[in-house]
Amino acid sequence: MLKWMFAAVTAIAIGVVSFFAFVLNEADGVPFEHREATLAEMRAPDALLVDIRTAPEWVDTGVIPEAELVTFTYPDVFLEDIRGQLGDKKLVLICRTGNRSGRAAQILSEMIDNPILSVDGGMRDLIAGGYKTSAPVR
């Protein structure tokens, strides 16, 4: 019985945390999405794809050729680096697994009006799915 009570409390806690994460996501700045995305969606003409990993990561795994390679460290510097290309496009962020892009999307959603998509699973899932990357060119 104790196992069932623990499982029920855990399930309720997960539900509450998920609900508040959704509410906070909607309440702070522009809503952003954190989900899987197709290559076509990432490469869409109305989107700016930015690989926010570090240079050693780009070299280690390769990159999507159409992606802008801009490491996300400081939000203001990052926006300065991409602002000329962003315009009114959707900002698509990709990292290794989706964790950094999710955090970056949350921060940036409070700073810009553009729609933002953080790619869940990141390059790891893309490569695991058979995508062949290219060597980074900077």
- Which residue do the tokens 């702070």 mark? 28
| Rounded alpha-carbon distances, angstroms, from residue 48 to 94, 95, 138 | 11, 14, 17
Q: Within 13 Å and on the Cβ side, how many CA atoms surround 22?
A: 6
**37-50 pLDDT tens trace:** 999 999 999 999 99
The whole model's pTM is what? 0.79
The structural domains of the chain, ordered by start, are: 32-129 (3.40.250.10)
Cα-based angle 52, 93, 44 (whole degrees, multiple of 5): 130
Query: How far is it, in rounded angstroms, from Cα 121 to Cα 77?
Result: 25
**36-90 pLDDT tens trace:** 999 999 999 999 999 999 999 999 999 999 999 999 999 999 999 999 999 999 9
